[in-house]
Amino acid sequence: MEIRGISNNGLVKWLNIYITIIGYENRPSLLIVLDDISESKSAREELKRSEAHLQTLIETIPDLIWLKDPEGIYLSCNRRFENFFGAKREDITGKTDYDFVDKESADFFRRHDQDAMAAGKSCINEEEVTFAIDGHHEILETIKTPMFSEAGSLIGVLGISRDITRRRQAEEALLSREQLLLGQNEALLSLMKNGRLFSGDLKEGIAEITRVCSELIRTERVSVWRYSQNFMTVKCLDLYERSKDLHSEGVTFRGEDFPAYLDSHKRGLVFAISDIKTDPNVRNISHDYWDKNNIRSFLDAPIWLHNKIGGLLSFENVGDKREWSQADERLCTTMATLVSLSFEAYERRQVEQALRESEERFKRAFENIPDVVVIYDRDLRIRYINEASKHLTGRQSSDFIGMREEEIWPPEIYNAYLPTLQKVLDTGRVCSVDIDLEFPGKGMTQLVITCAPLLEENGEVREVVGITHNYTQRKRAENEIRLLSDRLRMATESAGIGVWELNLLNNHFLWDKRMYELYGLDPVNCDGTYEMWRQTIHSEDITDTEKQMEDAIANSREFHTHYRIITPGNDIRHLEMHAMIIRAPNGSVLKMIGVNLDISERINAEAAIYEGKAHLEEAQAVAKLGSWVINPQTQTLIWSKGMFVLYNRNETFGAPALKEYIDLLHPEDRDHFQNLYDRILIDGESFECELRTNPFYGPERIIYTKVRSIYDGSGKIMQLTGIAQDIIDRNIAIENLRQNTAELRQLSYAIEQSSNIVVITDILGNIKYVNPRFLEVTGYAREEVLGQNSRILKSGEMPPSEYKDLWDTIISGGTWKGEFHNKKKNGELYWESASISPVKDENGNIVSFMAIKEDITEAKKDNEERRMLEIEMDQARKLEAVGSLASGIAHEINTPIQFVGDNTHFLADSFCSLISLIDTYNELFNKANLEPELVQKKDQAEEKVDLKYIRKEIPLAVHQTLEGVERVTNIVRAMKNFAHSDQGEKTIASINDMLESTLTVARNELKYVADVITEFDESIPEIECCRDELNQVFLNLFINAAHAIADVIKGGSAEKGTIKVSTNKEGDSVIIKISDTGPGIPKSIHHRIFDQFFTTKDVGKGSGQGLAIAQKIIVEKHKGSLDFETEEGKGTTFIVRLPINVQEAVTAYE
């Protein structure tokens, strides 16, 4: 059982008590073991809190989150994702996209899943989807991240989709309203940059909006109102009075007091009332609010909250009546949208608060999750068991009522804890026991069972309560929490969010990896102090940022802000911070937890928009262009700056009314414009015309004018927009262009019909133009190459230095000439000669490059064939010369060698006769009984000439001489056979004899690097062949084998290799195999082995022609085949297959 205790130093400790009975000196004793489980207990509680926090975060986050396995099967998803498929999580899990959406959408999702898994990193894509739950559409930005186990194997894909629909809609709305917002741009940008608007503080946000609106619209009162849920009441959240610079709130009206007005707002209409006293919508409504505040006109726009009307933004004009313009209505609508965004920021803050409260509820729920609880009577029969038992046993709790443990479980289970129950009955004391049980279908389970007595008033045990805690689940939970923590970490890393924690007791930060990346800091060299963080903040932002943090800590509220930092590399980044305060149970502040997000791109984009508007005005001035808007109801105009220049009007006078504008036109053009204007108001069709300015006001200009109509929601023309441009210069240019058109057309025809390839690219090499000859040669269609880089033609056969020389030449203004080995669309390689030159503008700047090229593939082939033929003829001439020389040498050597052989045989025979004669003399000498002096003299003479040595060595010398003569004869014969010229005609010859002769000739090249093994099939027939050419093939293969082995043994530093030559007959062919124990041929060059001029040997050692010539001789002249088998590190075997019947082979080949 677990209990709490107090240690000597006053700290509360959690202890686990283990009690068991042991025998000691033949007496039963209790063994009590206390185990400090304080850290384990804290860890379990922390795990529960982390799990609750993570689950709450996943379920309440507005993004769609899901997890698939590598096969696309859903493993999990959050509630937001359920809305997408219109199904519950349990119905989604185990299924694929093909079970919920059409095949095209499912293929799209699957393809991007596979892209992320293949890339091994996060991938981002956008997709427009329809939510099945209600049919609404959203544009989602989806981040897909491959998930890996600790072992590195792929688990699946984690997806996070964020709704960017409103962002897209806002971008489109911004573009369409750009002209109308020019005058309000600066104020709106200032408002957007104001952190209070989206800080989540609703009061500050709408107060800022009402103040800015009052300044922009120049009206006395601006207010924000919020409807109750059923539109019964509407309450003022903020009223700003401009003259008093005062904000107030609290006024509430009933909706039933003005039903027509309320009905218009329910339909989302902008309500523009110029005169309260005369307008039929409100004329009959008597209300003290208007009278009391002297309100004469008002303009209201609905505030949309969650796609419904939630309130209204009201512009109230005091005193005189006011005609509200379309610009006023649009500004009101825009500001109402900003109020909506402020509400969303406020609601987001509320959601975050709800998230924390929900987290606390889940925490309490997990802390009170019961273990298995069982109540036994005195007979140890089960009277009650809770539902938690079902999770442990897999059986219903009702199955156990009235039964004893031994009636439920086998002996190995109930015997483990039945003694503990009995002990509690006998002693009336609490007992616990740890047991490991293997339940059917669940495997080994670790349990702690604590049993306690329920006593009668007299102290007797009435019942026993058993509480079973499953430690197995805790271990599983620990593993699941670890997995979920890893997933959360990967999710934040994928979103680029940095997570941090500030200990407010010691002012030290705890940062994750992303935080260091955002700040450009090295974790090793950072001390993690508050001062370290403070030093990174831009000096202009430190005071405001710290003030907001101090205010958040003092008021225990969440806050978010943004500030600039300066990285160690002096880069300035804009960071957005969101944080919350964590307090202890006693209310003291413990720490601050938050996230950081790099918003530099967003800030830069806003600056770019502002700068773009300035550039637009500048561009209009340079182009002598102006733009304008006409309100048909008020006949008032809005002019850009360019319009004042075009019509010679001072900007201080402002834009003219329509009638005054017509006066600025040439008298002869006024009626024409008036007719066009009247017609567009009737039929709405756009028009364009050329108008002259009134020379009375300044230089006469010809103004090109184009006008189109813009409609409101009811189909009524709301305004006319137009552009105007001074076209005097253009008319002059048109005349000049007309004169040059004929010449340009002729040049165009020449290029289009040219037999040469013409390509024009921009300065980066992106193709802008190709003529038909280019399309004919490369096989591409025009639309396939326009906009593509010219690298699409690269084959990889050209060295990088060649391209560098090309770019260095043309960028410096020169003309490059050379050849390309390029690749067609179908993969076929081709050669082309090219001349590439830069094209310059009137200022001498290079604006593009033009290439004029010619397909020289066939010419290249002809040159290569001529070169090959020349090499073969040269080789044949060499062989013929060698043959003539060898024949002459053989003739010159044969005669003296024959003399040497004959004389050597004569000497051998004569020596034998001489020795026989000497033996006869010795025999007679010994029988003659001569004087000792004569005998001694004879012996001395024999000893002097060393007769015994001569008798032994001369026969050996003669034998070796005869062997040498025979060898020379064989070599001479082999040379004659090898160099025998067949004049290119096929003759009958023995393959075995040809191989023997070639080996003899090549022996000097082979003997130092390899031992030669021959296995000739003596039964193979002679074949019809070009003997001298086949000898050349065999010699090339022998020499290549010797060189390959030499590369392995490194000039004799290792043992010699082996060259094996074998012949045999297969069907109608003779097979020759020449094997070596060299290094083998790398797989990467297998396809090039028989290419001309390709060699892997050192310079001067190989020409790259041997195998190319050999293949041509074998395949083309003998209709055979030349193949090879190789294994790197072991060697190579070349296989020559020659037909026995050449004529049949030729017929089959043809």
Quick one: how far is CA 244 from the chain centroid? 58
Task: Give the tokens for residue 145.
Answer: 């991240």
Contact criterion met (CB below 8 Å) for 596 and 577: yes
Torsion sign (Cα): 581, 582, 583, 589: negative
Phi/psi for 921 (5° steps) reads -60, -40
* pLDDT (mean) for 737-762: 75
Phi, psi of 429 (to 5 degrees): -115, 160
Residue 803 is assigned to a structural domain of this protein: yes
**Arithmetic mean of pLDDT, 1072-1079:** 92
Beta partners for residue 637, in sequence order: 630
* Mean local confidence (pLDDT), 394-403: 82
Higher pLDDT, 319 or 899: 319
Which of 195-199, 232-236, 810-814 is least confident?
Answer: 195-199
Alpha-carbon distance of 918 to 924, in angstroms, equals: 10
Coil, strand or helix at 1121? strand
Contact predicate 1125/1131, CB 8 Å = no
Residues sharing a CB contact under 8 Å with residue 842, sequence separation 6 or more, in sequence order: none
Spatial CA neighbour of 960 closest among 890, 892, 893, 907? 907
User: Which of 199 and 1074 is assigned the larger pLDDT?
Assistant: 1074
Q: pLDDT tens, 464-521?
A: 988 888 777 666 666 676 676 666 666 666 667 888 899 888 888 888 888 888 898 9
Q: Contact, 897 vs 968, CB < 8 A? A: yes
Q: What is the pLDDT of residue 1107?
A: 83
Tokens linked to 930: 């001569």
Q: Which two tokens stand for residue 625?
A: 């262009």
The pLDDT > 70 percentage for the chain reads 82
State the average pLDDT over residues 103-126: 90
State how far the Cα of 266 lies from the Cα of 264, in Å rounded to an integer: 5
CA atoms within 13 A of residue 754's CA, in its CB half-sphere: 19
Asked whether residue 946 is domain-assigned, the answer is no
Residue 393: is it exposed, middle or buried by C-beta count within 10 angstroms (0-12/13-18/19+)?
A: buried
Instruction: Take residue 1132 and report the two structure tokens written for it.
Output: 């190579």
Number of domain units in the chain: 8
**Which position has the higher pLDDT, 662 or 193?**
662
Residues 258-274, mean pLDDT to the nearest whole number: 78
CA 540, 542, 545, 550 dihedral sign is negative
Is residue 990 assigned to a domain? yes
- Same domain for 226 and 328, yes or no, is yes
DSSP-assigned letter for residue 525: G
Compute the CA torsion angle 243, 246, 250, 252 (nearest 10 deg). 10
Residue 920, domain member (yes or no): no
Lowest mean pLDDT among 400-409, 616-625, 696-705: 616-625
Alpha-carbon dihedral 552, 555, 556, 560, rounded to 10 degrees: -30
Domain that holds residue 567: 496-599
Distance between CA atoms of residues 41 and 37, nearest Å: 6
DSSP 181: T
Residues 838 and 698 in one domain: no
Based on the fold, state whether residues 218 and 294 are members of the same structural domain. yes
Do 534 and 553 lie in a common domain? yes
In a domain, 933, yes or no: no
**Which range, of 162-171, 934-943, 976-985, averages the lowest pLDDT?**
976-985
End-to-end alpha-carbon separation of the chain, Å? 95
Is 778's pLDDT higher than 70? yes
Residue 185 has what pLDDT? 66
Task: Quick: pLDDT tens for 947-1001.
Answer: 777 877 788 777 777 766 666 666 666 555 555 555 567 888 899 988 888 888 7
State the pLDDT at residue 246: 93
| Long-range CB contacts for residues 861-864, cutoff 8 Å, separation at least 24 | 864/1092
CA distance linking residue 1139 with residue 1136, whole number of Å: 10
Read off the DSSP letter of residue 382: E
Please enumerate in sequence order all residues whose Cβ is within 8 A of that of 1024, keeping only pairs 6 or more positions apart, or say none: 986, 987, 988, 1141, 1142
**Rg of the chain, C-alpha, whole Å:** 51
Is it the case that residue 1134 has pLDDT exceeding 70?
Answer: yes
Residue 330 sits in a domain whose CATH number is 3.30.450.40
- For 840, the 3-state DSSP assignment is strand
Give a yes or no: residue 406 inside a domain: yes
Q: Are residues 196 and 329 in the same domain?
A: yes
Residue 59 banded pLDDT, cuts 50, 70, 90: confident
pLDDT computed for residue 26 by the predictor: 67
Q: State phi, psi for 814 to the nearest 5 degrees.
A: -90, 175
Under 8 Å between Cβ of 572 and 565? yes
What distances in angstroms separate CA 1042 from CA 1049, 1074, 1080, 1127, one per listed residue?
11, 11, 13, 17
Clarify whether residues 526 and 638 are in a common domain.
no
Count H helices, E strands: the chain?
A: 33, 42
Q: What is the spatial distance between Cα 899 and Cα 225, in angstroms, rounded to a whole number?
A: 133
Is residue 329 domain-shared with residue 188, that is, in the same domain? yes
Residues 6+ positions from 623 with CB-CB distance below 8 Å: 725
Let me know whether 159 and 203 are in one domain.
no
Report the pLDDT value the prediction gives residue 780, as an integer from 0 to 100.
93
Considering only 103-112, 278-287, 641-650, 660-669, which range has the smallest mean pLDDT?
278-287
User: What's the mean per-residue pLDDT of the chain?
Assistant: 81
Alpha helices in 575-635 (DSSP H): 600-622
The one-letter amino acid code at 739 reads Q
Does 604 map to a domain? Answer: no
- Is the pLDDT assigned to residue 763 strictly greater than 70? yes
pLDDT exceeds 70 at position 878:
no
Question: At which of 565, 599, 633 does a domain end?
Answer: 599
Same domain? 694 vs 760: no
Q: Which single residue is written with the structure tokens 């390309």?
A: 820
Residues 279 and 183 in one domain: yes
Residues 549 and 672 in one domain: no
- Determine phi and psi for 1141, rounding to 5 degrees: -100, 100
**Which DSSP letter does residue 808 get?**
H
DSSP-derived 3-state class of residue 198: coil
Report d(CA 347, CA 310) in Å as an integer. Answer: 13
Q: Please give the full DSSP string across 1054-1082, using - where no structure is assigned.
A: S--EEEEEEEEEETTEEEEEEEE-S----
Transcribe 428-447 into DSSP letters.
Answer: -S-EEEEEEEEETTTEEEEE
Mean pLDDT of 777-793: 91
The CATH number that applies at residue 1087 is: 3.30.565.10
The model's confidence at residue 366, banded by pLDDT at 50, 70 and 90, is very low
Residue 415: φ, ψ to 5°: -65, -15
Nearest to 107 by CA among 76, 78, 133, 72: 72
The backbone torsions φ and ψ at residue 267, rounded to the nearest 5 degrees and listed phi first, read -85, 5
pLDDT reported for residue 836: 93
Q: What is the pLDDT of residue 751?
A: 77
As a whole number, mean pLDDT of residues 878-899 equals: 58
In a domain, 153, yes or no: yes
Question: What are the structure tokens assigned to 159, written together?
Answer: 């997806």
Q: CB 150: neighbour CB atoms within 10 A?
A: 8
Question: Tokens at residue 40, please?
Answer: 């384990």
Domain termination residue (choose one: 109, 132, 163): 163
Residue 80 is predicted with a pLDDT of 86
Cα(1115)–Cα(1092) distance, rounded to whole angstroms?
A: 15
Say yes or no to pLDDT of 591 above 60.
yes
Token pair 């997890």 is at which residue?
A: 67
- Residue pair 195/562 in contact (Cβ under 8 Å)? The answer is yes
pLDDT over 60 at 87, yes or no: yes
In this structure, the answer to whether residues 81 and 15 fall within a common structural domain is no
CA–CA distance, 602 with 608 (Å, rounded to integer)? 10
Task: Tell me the CATH number at 788.
Answer: 3.30.450.20
Which residue among 407, 442, 477 closes a domain? 477
pLDDT band at 363 (very low <50, low <70, confident <90, very high): very low
